[in-house]
Structure 1
Amino acid sequence: MFNFRRREIPWEVVDNKSVNAIPMYYEDEDLDIAVVGEADTRGTYVFQVTSGKEAPSLRNAVEFARQQLLQEIIKKGYNILLLESWQLTVFRRGKEHRIEVQYCGRPARALGKLPARRPPPFMAVLENCH
């Protein structure tokens, strides 16, 4: 009559880093904006990793999350993110590690030649992850 679940070990938060929204382009740059999205676009991406402490894995996760979010906004007719923010959380359960990245940005459509894409903001905070 009753099904009992095996007791599962919960995920433990090992570390959490975040960067608040910052502008990726400034007024002095020659950027012709045609349309700005009414709201921010957010994506949450989860990665299974061998160790949650390696800075390259963390950087790669944030960069991949940004690329995925850019692909999503391109489907909606935008081509840049004017503001960008991200939050990274490292989880552990036994020997398993999981990285969750929430990447957020304000989409816009710029006309003409786009400037080179900058890396995600403040990636240096990942150097001190425990």
Structure 2
Amino acid sequence: MLFHFRRKEIPWEVVGSKAIEPVHMYYDEDKELDITSMGEANTCGTYVFHVQQLKKVEELRNTVVFAKQQLLKEIGKKGFNVLLSESWDVTIYRRGKRHRVQVNYSGRPAHIVGDLPTLRPPPFIQVLQDCI
């Protein structure tokens, strides 16, 4: 009987993490929104990006923006078109020279009738400045 031993893999090391608690995206000073329906709970999406070398903050910001866009597509399939509140967290992993970025993006979906408000960037995206 032959045994094949699995090659020892190097684990991913956590090198950075940032999180933003839920933030309301639309306030009273905005034009009045005609909300017809709202999700019963927050919707969450987890997105993983593999990067050879994470050198620029812009690359990290782009992962969060992309995660938001993907979550908006997902809620669109359920009949919603905006996120009333949003939160996210980013975890950066490293194994040798390679990096992995995991983004968890969450928000309260809603459906608005009429003109949609302008799409805002993810809240507090500037906190990623000191991650790299």
CA displacement at 1:51 relative to structure 2? 2.1
Q: TM-score, normalised by structure 1?
A: 0.95
Q: CA deviation at 1:53?
A: 4.4
Task: Report if the CA contact (8 A) 1:85-1:105 is conserved.
Answer: yes
Q: What is the deviation of 1:39?
A: 0.7
Aligned length: 130
Counterpart in the other structure of 1:10 = 11
Moved more, 52-61 or 75-84: 52-61
Letter in 2 for 1:63: V
Percent of paired sites with the same residue: 58
Please give the secondary structure, in 1, of the residue aligned with 2:70.
helix
Kindly provide the CA deviation profile for residues 32-72 of structure 1, in whole angstroms up to 9, marking residues without a partner as x. 11101001100000111132342001000000000000000
Alignment of 1:1-130 (within 5 A): 1=1, 2-29=3-30, 30-130=32-132
Amino acid at match of 1:27: D
Residues 89-112 of structure 1: CA deviation (Å, up to 9, x unaligned): 110001111111000000000111
Unaligned runs of 5+ in 2: none
List 4+ stretches of structure 1 deviating above 6 A.
Answer: none
RMSD, aligned α-carbons: 1.1
CA distance in 2, matches of 1:15, 1:41: 24
Indicate the SS of the match to 1:25. Answer: coil
Structure 1 residues not aligned, in runs of 5+: none
